Structure formats: structure tokens, C-alpha cells
């Protein structure tokens, strides 16, 4: 009879040493946590971080936050949560096929949108305007703040106390002065973070297209003029246009095409640059994970097409704009009546000021909670 396997953290660490590429970040080389903790007997530091993200309140709230359509508009459209899960899946495939650390890439992908306020990018722009003279608002910075400060569940520290690698991986936009815990960050994020980033771009292009078709906003006739749509039709098995699965299968082919292109291009770049360590990847002059130039241009065209025909379409934009007006009204209301916010927010007002504490409170809201609060206090 076969003996039951006994794997644990030590086996996973040695497995990483045997299997992962030299340019991958091995969990045994993590720079650690802000508050030192004992290693877990079963999981590596990154596996543990992934679980911490999934068990966070901010992660659960993603279910009721807008991706493109205000949540509840249709049960089949993506929410921030299903978007995040699709990103994580693609990040895992890409990192596994590149010999990168799948646990790390997956964790960064799962956490990448934790900082999104309600009502998607419209909500983010509105908060940024409201805080224009007080440091602005960006969902990337907010994600770090959530995992470092705003999640409260451990007795000895605030936040989730994630590893340095996951936290740094959430900082996408960098200049020479960008730092974390006083350490200046290299020009490029680690490859696992670059993988999560391209997985995000790839995923939203494909699923927004899918939702746009299902919402009846995008017609197959106009899509025929979009280069990536045509290319996807020549990629793999094609269905006749009258087949019930025609559009969703074409989107599936597009995902496959983009993943294959990103893998191929990234492998070439890593090889040509002679990258052999994570540090070499981080200090390289340009990103090593990317699409080929032709596909990158075609992806940009698809993005512009989606903006014109979908994101700015009245069926999408009107709902979001109305929701954003409600959000701005809520912001003014809570500035005037701070006692109507939560207890934690009121405590934070003393530390970070009323405006920032209220903005963090509103940013944490789901679409439906924000609407509920609007109806309760203002409408
Ligand atoms: Mg995203």
C-alpha cells in the first residue's frame, strides 16, 4: 500500500530550489515581515500571505465592487472579485510556465485591486479630485495601506503583516525616490509582480469585451474591425458565427493568444538580457514581462475601442456618474458629521485627519453599502 505523503514548508522550500528558475524569488530568500513572526510549519511565507489576503475583509468586499458595470446590474457581469480571480489564474499560468514563484505571483494578483473604491475607476477619479489638495487618492497606494494598516485582525500588529515582496509587488508606479520601509525600490518590480500586472491587463481586456458583448453594447460587426478580434478568430479552432458559443469562444481564443504571446516575448527578453537573479530583473532598464510589439499595439487599440464604445457608453457611464455624485455627497456629509462613520474611522481621524480618515472609509465601501449609506443619510 502506498504511504500517505507528508509535505510541509521544508519540502516546499526544497521543491522551490529544485524547480524554480534562478531569476524567481524563492520563499527562503524573502526579506521578511515588518513584525517578525515564527515560520508556519506547513506553508511558505508566500503561501501564508496568499491565505491572509483571501481571509481579509477587503478581499471579501471585492464581491460587491464595480468592475465596469455597477454591481447588481446583471448577475453574469464581472465584479472586482471575479476579475481578481481571473487575474490570479492567468498570473499562475504565466509564472508557472516561466519558472517563477507561482505562490508569490498569485498573492500579488489577489491583492492587486484591494484598494479599489466603490464604482470602479469613476469612483477612484472622484476621490482623487476630492483629495486633490490633500495627497490625492490612488487604488495602488490604497492597497498597501489596507494590507499594512487598515485590516485589523491580529493582536500584535495592524494590517496583515505581509512579506516585503508582496507589499513591494503592489507598488507599480515607481520613480527614483519610491521606497518601502525606508528601502529605495529598484526601477522594476520583481518578475512575479510584472506577471500579475500583465495578467491584469490581459484579463480585463478579454472579460470587458465579453461583458460588453453580453450587455449588447458591442456588436460583432464593429468588432470585426478590431485587429485582436480578427487575430483571435485565426487562433486555434474557429466556430461559425451562428454558433451559440461564437463570441465567448472567440474571447477564449483571445485569452489563449495573449497568454502565448506574453510567454514567448517574456522568455525572449529574459534570455536576451541574460537575467539570472531576481535582482538583475529588478534593476533592468525596462520590464521583462510583456507582449510582443505587434500585440502590444493591437492591445492598445482594443483598449481605446473599449473606452470609446463601452466605458464611455451612456449605459455604463450614466450609472457610474450618478453613483459618483452620491459618493461625493457622502464625503461632504461625513466631513460634517464624522460621528456617523464607523468607530475605527473615528479613531483614525486623530491620527490622519478627518479628510483622509473619511476618504479611507468611503474607499472601503462596497457599491451597495455606499448606496445604502446615501439613502440613509442624504436621499
Ligand atoms: Mg485589476
Alpha-carbon distance 266 to 292, whole Å?
8
Among candidates 311, 309, 319, 318, which has minimal Cα distance to 219?
309
The rounded Å distance from CA 39 to ligand 1 centre is 30
For residue 161, the CA-to-ligand 1 centroid distance in Å is 22
Cα(60) to ligand 1 centroid in Å equals: 15
Q: Are 169 and 196 in contact (CB under 8 A)?
A: yes
How many whole angstroms from 200 Cα to the centroid of ligand 1? Answer: 5
The rounded distance, in Å, linking the Cα atoms of 167 and 279 is 16
- C-alpha 163/C-alpha 144 separation (Å) is 12
Compute the distance from residue 374 Cα to the ligand 1 centre, in Å: 26
Q: Whole-prediction pTM value? A: 0.96
Q: Is 180 helix (H, G, I), strand (E, B) or coil?
A: strand
DSSP character string of 187-223: SS--HHHHHHHHHHHHHHHHHHHHHHHHTTSS-HHHH
- Rg of the chain over Cα atoms, rounded to whole angstroms, equals 22
Q: Containing H/E element for 184? A: strand 183-184
Name the band, by pLDDT with cuts 50, 70 and 90, for residue 238: confident
* CA 124–ligand 1 middle distance (angstroms): 13
Q: How far is the CA of 359 from the centre of ligand 1 (A)?
A: 21
Burial code of 9-21, b = ≥16 C-beta within 10 A, e = fewer? beebbeebeeebb
Per-residue model confidence (pLDDT) at position 80: 94
Query: For the chain, what is the mean pLDDT?
Result: 94
Nearest to 73 by CA among 246, 342, 322: 322
CA of residue 118 to ligand 1 center, whole Å: 13
pLDDT value for 319: 84
Among the listed residues 38, 80, 31, 36, the one whose alpha carbon sits nearest the alpha carbon of residue 59: 80
In terms of Cα–Cα distance, which of 360, 372, 337 is closest to 127?
360
Ligand 1 center to residue 120 CA distance, Å? 10
User: What pLDDT is recorded for position 32?
Assistant: 97
User: What's residue 267's pLDDT?
Assistant: 98
Q: How confident is the model at residue 121 (pLDDT cuts 50, 70, 90)?
A: confident
How many Å lie between the centroid of ligand 1 and the Cα of residue 85?
10
The alpha carbon of 379 and the centre of ligand 1 are apart by a number of angstroms equal to 31
Q: Where are the alpha helices (DSSP H) in 215-245?
A: 220-223, 227-234
- Facing residues of 163 across strands? 33
Local confidence band at 237 (pLDDT 50, 70, 90 cut-offs): confident
Residue 207 has pLDDT above 90, yes or no: yes
Q: How far is the CA of 91 from the centre of ligand 1 (A)?
A: 12
Distance 339 CA to ligand 1 centre (A): 33
Strand intervals (E) in 209-343: none
Nearest to 359 by CA among 63, 67, 136, 70: 136
How far apart are the CA of 83 and the centre of ligand 1, in A? 7
pLDDT interval class at 241 (50, 70, 90): confident
Confidence of residue 256 (pLDDT cuts 50, 70, 90): very high
Per-residue pLDDT at 175 exceeds 80: yes
Q: Give the Å distance between the CA of 291 and the centre of ligand 1.
A: 18
69 CA to middle of ligand 1, Å?
Answer: 14
For the segment 100-122, the average pLDDT, to the nearest whole number, is 95
Question: In angstroms, what is the span from residue 185 Cα to ligand 1's centroid?
Answer: 22
Distance of CA 93 to the CA centre of its chain: 16
- Helices 191-214 and 102-111, interaxial angle, to 10°? 50
**Residue 299 Cα to ligand 1 middle (Å):** 16
Residue 17 C-alpha to ligand 1 middle, in angstroms?
A: 31
Residue 26 DSSP label: -
For residue 377, pLDDT over 80 is answered with yes
Average the pLDDT over each of 108-112, 178-182, 241-245, 299-303 and give the range with the smallest value. 241-245
Question: Cα of 110 to ligand 1 centre, how many Å?
Answer: 9
The model's pLDDT over 263-308, given as tens digits with 9 standing for 90+, comes to 999 999 999 999 999 999 999 999 999 999 999 999 999 999 999 9
> Which helix H or strand E contains 302, and what residues bound it?
helix 293-306
Residue 286's alpha-carbon distances to 109, 127, 178, 194, in angstroms, are 21, 31, 16, 11
CA of 113 to the centre of ligand 1 (A): 5
CA of 337 to the centre of ligand 1 (A): 33
Amino acid at each position: 500500500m502506498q504511504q500517505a505523503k507528508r509535505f510541509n514548508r521544508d519540502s516546499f522550500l526544497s521543491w522551490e530550489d529544485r524547480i524554480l528558475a534562478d531569476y524567481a524569488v524563492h520563499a527562503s530568500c524573502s526579506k521578511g515581515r515588518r513584525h517578525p513572526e515564527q515560520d508556519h510549519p506547513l506553508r511558505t511565507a508566500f503561501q501564508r500571505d496568499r491565505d491572509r489576503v483571501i481571509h481579509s475583509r477587503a478581499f471579501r468586499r471585492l464581491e460587491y465592487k464595480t468592475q465596469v458595470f455597477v454591481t447588481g446590474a446583471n448577475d453574469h457581469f464581472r465584479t472586482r472579485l471575479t476579475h481578481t480571480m481571473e487575474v490570479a489564474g492567468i498570473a499562475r499560468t504565466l509564472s508557472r510556465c516561466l519558472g517563477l514563484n507561482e505562490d508569490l505571483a498569485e498573492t500579488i494578483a489577489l491583492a492587486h485591486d484591494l484598494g479599489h473604491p466603490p464604482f470602479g475607476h469613476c469612483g477612484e477619479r472622484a476621490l482623487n479630485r476630492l483629495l486633490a489638495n490633500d495627497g490625492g487618492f490612488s487604488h495602488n497606494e490604497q492597497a498597501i495601506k489596507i494590507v499594512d494598516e487598515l485590516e485589523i485582525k491580529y493582536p500584535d500588529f495592524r494590517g496583515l503583516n505581509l512579506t516585503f515582496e508582496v507589499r513591494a509587488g503592489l507598488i507599480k508606479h515607481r520613480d527614483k525616490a519610491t521606497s518601502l520601509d525606508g528601502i529605495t525600490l529598484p526601477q522594476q518590480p520583481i518578475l512575479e509582480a510584472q506577471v500579475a500586472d500583465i495578467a491584469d491587463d490581459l484579463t480585463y481586456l478579454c472579460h470587458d469585451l465579453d461583458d460588453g458583448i453580453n450587455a449588447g453594447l458591442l456588436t460583432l460587426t464593429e468588432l470585426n474591425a478590431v485587429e485582436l478580434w480578427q487575430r483571435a478568430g485565426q487562433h486555434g479552432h474557429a466556430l461559425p458565427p451562428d454558433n451559440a458559443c461564437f463570441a465567448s469562444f472567440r474571447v477564449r481564443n483571445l485569452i489563449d493568444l495573449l497568454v502565448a504571446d506574453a510567454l514567448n516575448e517574456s522568455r525572449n527578453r529574459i534570455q536576451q538580457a541574460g537575467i539570472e537573479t531576481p535582482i538583475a530583473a529588478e534593476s533592468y532598464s525596462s520590464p521583462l514581462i510583456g507582449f510582443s510589439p505587434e500585440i502590444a499595439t493591437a492591445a492598445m487599440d482594443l483598449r481605446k475601442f473599449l473606452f470609446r464604445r463601452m466605458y464611455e457608453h451612456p449605459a455604463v457611464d450614466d450609472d457610474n456618474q450618478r453613483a459618483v455624485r452620491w459618493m461625493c455627497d457622502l464625503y461632504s456629509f461625513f466631513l460634517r458629521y464624522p460621528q456617523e462613520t464607523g468607530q475605527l474611522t473615528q479613531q483614525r481621524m486623530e491620527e490622519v485627519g478627518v479628510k483622509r480618515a473619511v476618504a479611507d472609509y468611503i474607499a472601503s465601501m462596497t457599491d451597495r453599502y455606499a448606496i445604502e449609506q446615501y439613502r440613509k443619510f442624504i436621499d
